[in-house]
Amino acid sequence: MKPHEMGVAEIGRALRAHEVSSLEITEHLLTRLTEQQRLGAFLATDADAARAQARSADARLAQGAGGPLLGVPVAHKDIFVTRGLASTAGSKMLAGYASPFDATVVARLTEAGMVTLGKLNCDEFAMGSANENSAFGPVRNPWNEARVPGGSSGGSAAAVAARLVPAATGTDTGGSIRQPASFCGITGIKPTYGVCSRYGMIAFASSLDQAGPLARSAEDCALLLSAMSGFDPRDATSAERAPQDFHARMLAPRPGASAARPLEGLRIGLPREFFPAALAADVEAAVRAALAELEKLGATLVDVSLPRTELSIPVYYIIAPAEASSNLSRFDGVKFGHRAAHYADLLDMYKKTRAEGFGPEVKRRIMIGTYVLSHGYYDAYYLQAQRLRRMIADDFQACFKSCDLIAGPVAPTVAWQIGAQGDPLQNYLADIFTLPASLAGLPGMSVPAGSGAHGMPVGLQLVGNYFDEGRLLHAAHALQQASDFHSRAPAGV
Ligand code: GLN
């Protein structure tokens, strides 16, 4: 098996069995990613630094050391700051920005022995659903290079799907791990808000932003999540909970379950609002087929309702821009990144710097956010959105009285053509199924569920209750043990 054909767990096993070295795998992937630059997935690489990390992992492996991630390559969404590799958030504002420190998520994966191959393209400040908003060009979907990979973690999803790297980090504010994972036929998990530290994650909407892994399988995601999660005193919203071994939890059998029916007794709620008439028939068929597989494994499907699903779009597109307008005020030409070359006075410097540094979607959101927070509109928009956000979270709790997990599609369609969706509102509407869990702060996953129109991948979304990532990963793993949706690769990969 060629190194790029192996996932995280397989590479780990091969390394510990000394069948291959981390340096060999790293070299192979470095060559591969330079050959596949047309995908636009990578924004920065440092081959020598990666080789040095691989050599040090090999030295530890030779001494018999061996955590599951030691020597396994990874790449990071360019929203995480990294020492030694430029951190841009996909924005001209931060082009070439050198961070003096590593984000906690990056530091923890490095401590676990992972080899950093580079930084991955994303929508500017993680604003988007197609990776068409990056200042450094779009990312192409490896299943069909004329199509988008989803966003905002589009570089992460494309790199994993194209087998340039076995796993990547991403962030999800309103769907940015789940939706690109779905569009690229890979597995991704956004944990409960507070599970992964936001320290060193360039902020978009702080009450929603959450990091998580994208990989080929639930097992690989579980391995990464165990290492990257956990309390961090440097993030004021980090959940103070003991570290969790998601991999062990994923493997633990359910009480009363058998090998043939590992999900016996698991109740999966299907919100009727997640299957509207407007849902593309190909997406619905793939999602229903995956649900039928889960039923074969012992799960029971129950009807539930999330009555405010449609409202999650206006609520999110008020709250997220409001927080973004505040977070992005720090980019003023003084503290970080870009500063206009010519200006008359301080105010002119601010104006020119921000006009030059930010792209159109970021400007649009700063204007919306400033508007909804302004005196006279705050009560009508921002406060109202916050009230509805609470009701959306309560709706989920009502559902969890009759089910353990919630399932539905990740997105209403498969990945669209690059350049086909010019209207920002169309992009916002396509977030309908991922926004509710984000607003509620709940963990959500995208699991490959076969393909829909044009042979493009479809993702099944699973949402759990707070801190129930283990149950999500367990169900996804059971599905992946019994089916091969997750191991399908784009043609020629
Ligand atoms: N598509 C959503 C947006 O544009 C979500 C992005 C994200 O999760 N970072 O805001």
Residue 206 Cα, ligand 1 centroid: separation in angstroms? Answer: 12
CA of 435 to the centre of ligand 1 (A): 9
Residue 278's pLDDT is 87
For 19-25, what is the mean pLDDT? Answer: 98
**pLDDT tens by residue, 320-334:** 999 999 999 999 999
Model pTM score: 0.98
Q: Ligand 1 centroid vs 179 CA: distance in angstroms?
A: 9
**Which amino acid belongs to residue 60?**
R
User: Residues enclosing ligand 1, CB less than 6 A?
Assistant: 126-129, 152, 172-176, 204, 320, 431
Ordered domains of the chain (ranges, CATH): 3-260+443-487 (3.90.1300.10)
Cα of 148 to ligand 1 centre, how many Å?
15
Helix (H, G, I), strand (E, B) or coil at 249: helix
Q: How many residues can be counted in the chain? A: 493
pLDDT band at 66 (very low <50, low <70, confident <90, very high): confident
Closest ligand 1 atom to 177 CA: 8
> ∠ CA(132), CA(136), CA(138), 5° rounding?
30
d(CA 276, CA 266): 24
Going from the Cα of 284 to the center of ligand 1, the distance in angstroms, rounded, reads 23
Sequential DSSP letters for 426-482: HHHHTTTTTHHHHHHT--EEEEEEEE-GGG-EEEEEEEESTT-HHHHHHHHHHHHHH
Average pLDDT of the residues in 10-33: 97
Exposed, middle or buried by CB within 10 Å (0-12, 13-18, 19+), for 236?
Answer: exposed
Residue 30 is predicted with a pLDDT of 98
Q: Which of 122, 148, 152 to mutate to test the pocket of ligand 1 (most atoms within 8 A of CB)?
A: 152
- The 10s digit of each residue's pLDDT in 200-259 is 999 999 999 999 999 999 999 999 999 999 999 999 999 999 999 999 999 999 999 999
Which residues does 108 contact at the CB level (< 8 Å), separation at least 6? Answer: 227, 228, 230
Catalytic residues: 77, 152, 176
Residue 129: is its pLDDT beyond 90? yes
Cα–Cα–Cα angle for 54, 250, 433, rounded to 5 degrees = 95
DSSP-assigned letters across all residues of 21-42:
-HHHHHHHHHHHHHHTGGG--E
Among 312-316, 442-446, 488-492, the minimum mean pLDDT is found in: 488-492
**pLDDT computed for residue 426 by the predictor:** 87
Report pLDDT for 408.
98
What's the pLDDT at 346? 97
Question: Other CB atoms closer than 10 Å to residue 251's CB: what's the count?
Answer: 13
* pLDDT value at 335 more than 90: no
Which residue from 77, 127, 416 has its CB within 8 A of the most atoms of ligand 1, so it is best to mutate? 127
* Substitution candidate for ligand 1 out of 129, 172, 177, 416 with most atoms within 8 A of CB: 129
What b/e sequence results for 310-334 when a residue is b if at least 16 CB atoms lie within 10 Å of its CB, and e otherwise?
ebbbebbbbbbbbbbbbbbeebbbe
- Specify the 3-state DSSP secondary structure of 259: coil
What residues contact 43, with CB distance under 8 A and at least 6 apart?
78, 86, 88, 90, 118, 119, 120, 121, 136, 155
- Is the pLDDT confidence value at 422 over 80? no
Average pLDDT of the residues in 371-391: 95
Q: What is the pLDDT of residues 85-101, one digit of tens each?
A: 999 999 999 999 999 99
User: Does the structure show a pLDDT above 80 at 80?
Assistant: yes
Q: Pick the atom of ligand 1 nearest to 427's CA.
A: 1
In this prediction, residue 306 carries a pLDDT of 98
Using the atom order of ligand 1, give the atom closest to the CA of residue 317. Answer: 10
Atom of ligand 1 nearest to the CA of 176: 8
For residue 45, the model assigns a pLDDT of 97
Q: How high is the mean pLDDT of the chain? A: 97
